[in-house]
Copies of this chain bind each other. A is one copy, B any other.
């Protein structure tokens, strides 16, 4: 069985040495988030992750959630762990103080999400979804709605959900059919069936607050006719406590490849009572904002599964004895050498390490930007928002795609044992596999990046990023020990601009060129972002190069540049090959 240990040394390196969270928090006025407090909070969160939810990860997968007559029972221990989580005050960490929250920065919550999620992703989805619903309601709800629902969501007594998808409307929300009819009292009756509703029903909280997308009778078709509603499982009585049962129900839960302990619900709304959140027909506006946050959260799942895969793989590679090193025995008194002596085993481990730590650094930078966007002054916020517009789809898709690669290397390192449940490695792959699908597939992220963001801004959002990298490279020009990183990074950064120009020109003639290049473009960009992060980590590490941890950072950066960064060439050639090789085959000729 896998045993999660929070990678505190790496987290401290990012928070203290690389990204200087101290100054960052000071600049945003978070006086309570001083380094000692941050350290203490992270230490406690690590304990909770390691000792409370980590041990429930495998049993939760084996047991799964149970559905009976609309009632969902979570696996043994889940409810109790959630109670402990609430009692310790974790749900309220990022909440507004006037509603009972602790007013701590979002970035801190994200580190905790990473730790708790690395220990048990299924479990972490219950508070995770609740947190997303909280933010959405906080951003778009009326004062009365905040008063009614937010306090209990922030305390964790109630949880929340996001009800978007319908069976025929996934990526294309414009097709959704759930209807809302206004009542005389201003409330609405909501009718329709939502699918894939994470944590839509469970036994962990007294009430569940559903945020539901629906179409008000007579609203326009497509995305501009969608409104947002709040519909609680139990309607509130005059004291704001759960009263009468609302006419909405979990019709079934899905049988899934992984995250089996997270209830994925079909939710039937049968004239369920709901109240409009924000203005009519503007439901998607607020939702898109929330989606960005959810995408950063899913990117964190990429980091989580990579960490799990790496921790499991490394432990086994040091322990498992098979064959001798080609350069002579390294464990002469044993029957064979530990497999970590074999170069190809190290190739897999270093690939895991490079993506795991690289994506973590990437995410912690993104989390700082989220802080700046939310809490910074107008100028800071705008600048951060622009950078996030560019980075979010990359973070979501790149961190999950490479996270899956890492998870699969974890299985591969175990040989045949990796396929066996008890070792826990195949669960990492099964649980992680959802991450490139939900919250917008990799393909959807790529269209968002290249179509909506890069082309949509006339290249401005890209230039925003490449300028930062360019400036960084300029600043390190002539630093001899950084040359092995700076030269290729500067070259690729220039190339990214050139490639974008070429694709843009072609796209003016043919709109399909964007879709034809998009995923390769996103992956190419992701490798550059990680090259940027690894150069920065190496730069910091070089200042203390005798230290073992820092030495390890430098070597991993070198590995990344030598063995993973060349993948950019394959992506570049593929995306430049144009749309014709995709579009010219008639649909009926695909198979016979």
> Chain A residues in contact with chain B, CB under 8 A?
7, 9-10, 165, 168-172, 174-175, 196, 254-258, 310-311, 314, 318, 321-323, 325-327, 335-336, 340, 342-350, 353, 411-412, 415-422, 426, 429-430, 433-434, 436-438, 441-443, 446-447, 451, 510-512, 514-516, 518-519, 548-549, 551-552, 555-556, 558-559, 562-564, 566-570, 572-574, 577, 579, 581-592
A47 nearest CB across to chain B (Å): 18
- Cβ–Cβ < 8 Å partners of A348 in chain B: 443
B416/A196 in contact, CB under 8 A: yes
CB pairs A–B below 8 angstroms (6 shown): A254-B420, A326-B512, A343-B516, A411-B433, A548-B586, A558-B581
- Cβ–Cβ < 8 Å partners of A171 in chain B: 322-323, 415
Q: Which chain B residue lies CB-closest to A348?
A: B443
Question: Which of B325, B326, B566, B572 interacts with A573 by CB under 8 Å?
Answer: B566
C-alpha spacing A426/B429, complex, angstroms: 12
A226 nearest CB across to chain B (Å): 15
A511/B559 in contact, CB under 8 A: no
Contacts A416-B437, A582-B346; A589 near B443 (Cβ below 8 A)? no
A168/B321 in contact, CB under 8 A: yes
Number of chain copies forming the complex: 2
Q: Which chain B residue lies CB-closest to A8?
A: B592
C-alpha spacing A32/B204, complex, angstroms: 68
A583/B510 in contact, CB under 8 A: no
C-alpha spacing A16/B581, complex, angstroms: 27
A415/B441 in contact, CB under 8 A: yes
B344/A591 in contact, CB under 8 A: no
A250 nearest CB across to chain B (Å): 16
Closest 9 CB pairs of A and B: A343-B515, A566-B573, A257-B426, A326-B511, A562-B577, A9-B592, A343-B516, A172-B322, A255-B421
B587/A335 in contact, CB under 8 A: no
C-alpha spacing A222/B254, complex, angstroms: 50
A589/B343 in contact, CB under 8 A: no
C-alpha spacing A168/B338, complex, angstroms: 12
- Cβ–Cβ < 8 Å partners of A416 in chain B: 165, 170, 196, 434, 437-438
- Cβ–Cβ < 8 Å partners of A311 in chain B: 591
Q: Which chain B residue lies CB-closest to A438?
A: B416
B343/A582 in contact, CB under 8 A: yes
- Cβ–Cβ < 8 Å partners of A556 in chain B: 585
Name the prevailing secondary structure of the A interface residues: helix
C-alpha spacing A568/B566, complex, angstroms: 10
Question: Which of B9, B446, B586 interacts with A344 by CB under 8 Å?
Answer: B446
> 5 new A-B pairs (CB below 8 Å) besides A556-B585, A569-B573?
A170-B417, A327-B512, A551-B589, A559-B582, A566-B574
A420/B255 in contact, CB under 8 A: yes
B570/A420 in contact, CB under 8 A: no
- Cβ–Cβ < 8 Å partners of A323 in chain B: 171-172, 174
- Cβ–Cβ < 8 Å partners of A511 in chain B: 326-327
- Cβ–Cβ < 8 Å partners of A433 in chain B: 411, 419, 426, 429
C-alpha spacing A453/B389, complex, angstroms: 51
B322/A420 in contact, CB under 8 A: no
Q: Which chain B residue lies CB-closest to A352?
A: B590
- Cβ–Cβ < 8 Å partners of A434 in chain B: 416, 419
C-alpha spacing A519/B516, complex, angstroms: 29
C-alpha spacing A574/B512, complex, angstroms: 32
Question: Which of B258, B336, B438 interacts with A175 by CB under 8 Å?
Answer: B336
A552/B582 in contact, CB under 8 A: no
C-alpha spacing A52/B171, complex, angstroms: 37
Query: Which of A346, A447, A559, A579 has the most chain B CB within a 10 Å cutoff?
Result: A346
C-alpha spacing A323/B321, complex, angstroms: 53
A412/B563 in contact, CB under 8 A: no
C-alpha spacing A447/B322, complex, angstroms: 14
- Cβ–Cβ < 8 Å partners of A411 in chain B: 433, 437
A247 nearest CB across to chain B (Å): 26
Contacts A574-B566, A582-B559; A170 near B322 (Cβ below 8 A)? yes
A436/B422 in contact, CB under 8 A: no
A587/B318 in contact, CB under 8 A: yes
B344/A518 in contact, CB under 8 A: yes
A418 nearest CB across to chain B (Å): 6
C-alpha spacing A436/B411, complex, angstroms: 10
- Cβ–Cβ < 8 Å partners of A196 in chain B: 416
- Cβ–Cβ < 8 Å partners of A9 in chain B: 592
Question: Which of B421, B552, B581 interacts with A563 by CB under 8 Å?
Answer: B581
C-alpha spacing A196/B588, complex, angstroms: 43
- Cβ–Cβ < 8 Å partners of A418 in chain B: 437
A44 nearest CB across to chain B (Å): 20
- Cβ–Cβ < 8 Å partners of A322 in chain B: 169-172, 175
- Cβ–Cβ < 8 Å partners of A257 in chain B: 419-421, 426, 429-430
Query: Which of A323, A551, A558, A568 has the most chain B CB within a 10 Å cutoff?
Result: A323
A536 nearest CB across to chain B (Å): 19
- Cβ–Cβ < 8 Å partners of A442 in chain B: 412
A577 nearest CB across to chain B (Å): 4
B562/A574 in contact, CB under 8 A: yes
- Cβ–Cβ < 8 Å partners of A518 in chain B: 343-344
C-alpha spacing A573/B434, complex, angstroms: 32
